[in-house]
Amino acid sequence: MTPLVNPLVPGLYIVATPIGNLGDLTARAADVLSRADLIAAEDTRVTAGLLRHIGTKRPMTPYHDHNADAVRPGLVARMGMEAIALVSDAGTPLISDPGFKLVRDARAAGHNVVTIPGPCAAVAALTLAGLPTDRFLFAGFLPAKSVARATAIAEVAGIRATLVFYESGPRLGAMLAALAAGLGDREAAVTREITKKFEEAVTGSLSSLAARYADAPPKGEIVVVVAPPGEPAPPTADEGDAALIEALERLPASKAAGEVAKRLGLDRRALYARAMELKA
């Protein structure tokens, strides 16, 4: 059934929905959801509640990890004639939720793809954590098994960015301990129940947070935000000398000083003076 007024242009509409507080549904999201020909929803019962909240009823079809491959071609075929909205249970579709293949296939088929941005737990957590936000890496859910989790943590340990993880209450203590072991004892924030009644952000070192939650798994939904690695320790005098001696074997003193200054971030003039001492 097509809505009576102002049909939407056919295509795929990616619609972000609230992560707890229904007041966060944007006016544009409500408009698109009430005019879509079909809503592809992760869980149609959850989305039915949202539609009730905005006083509308639209046809829905399930689109989730278990049926996506089977139903995607049919959805893409319909997008030529109909406006199909994709929603997940909460937050932004595609972010630790199904949808990227639907966007890819819709675009490959030449359909209109439109995003209606809105709440996303990862970004909301960054705004609560009080940690640097100029560079961040969204790492989603870590694997549940300890060896795979340690491997995944090692992969991101050297990245000079704030790290953002999704996690569940029962796994939080073990996850924080694994982060402390794999990343060092960085500052972090456990953000919980964002936009809901018991929203909180608990900050501290990873080891103190791991101790706090070890035997007290919190209820609700959680995002863990971890500070970037600290600045690397400045090179010691011995390291500077070793680099200079090696460079002096290949280069004249001024060039050796210049090369080492650039590589180790040391003062060029001081290195030149030291090079002359070493040569003498």
> Applying CB under 6 A, which residues contact ligand SAM?
19-20, 88, 90-92, 95-97, 120-122, 166-168, 191-196, 221-223
> CA 116 → CA 13, 23, 67, distances in Å?
7, 16, 24
> CA 181 → CA 149, 154, 225, distances in Å?
11, 10, 16
Nearest residue to ligand SAM, by Cβ distance, number only: 91
In the complex, what is the shortest distance from the CB of residue 89 to ligand SAM, in angstroms, rounded to a whole number?
Answer: 7
In the complex, what is the shortest distance from the CB of residue 219 to ligand SAM, in angstroms, rounded to a whole number?
Answer: 11
Kindly provide the residue ranges of all beta strands, DSSP E only, lying in 9-88, ordered along the sequence.
11-15, 38-41, 60-62, 83-87
Structure tokens at 200: 């909180």
In the complex, what is the shortest distance from the CB of residue 217 to ligand SAM, in angstroms, rounded to a whole number?
Answer: 13
In the complex, what is the shortest distance from the CB of residue 22 to ligand SAM, in angstroms, rounded to a whole number?
Answer: 12
- Choice between 93 and 240, CB closer to ligand SAM: 93
- Choice between 39 and 243, CB closer to ligand SAM: 39
In the complex, what is the shortest distance from the CB of residue 211 to ligand SAM, in angstroms, rounded to a whole number?
Answer: 21
- Choice between 19 and 209, CB closer to ligand SAM: 19
Cα–Cα distance, 179 to 22 (Å, whole number):
33
- Choice between 13 and 272, CB closer to ligand SAM: 13
In the complex, what is the shortest distance from the CB of residue 192 to ligand SAM, in angstroms, rounded to a whole number?
Answer: 6
Structure tokens at 46: 């959850």
Q: Are the C-beta atoms of 212 and 189 separated by less than 8 Å? A: no
Cα–Cα distance, 210 to 108 (Å, whole number):
45
Cα–Cα distance, 266 to 257 (Å, whole number):
9
Q: What are phi and psi of 91, to 5 degrees?
A: 85, -155
Which residues are CB-neighbours of 254 under 8 A, at least 6 positions away?
A: 272
- Choice between 90 and 131, CB closer to ligand SAM: 90
Structure tokens at 101: 């293949």
- Choice between 166 and 272, CB closer to ligand SAM: 166
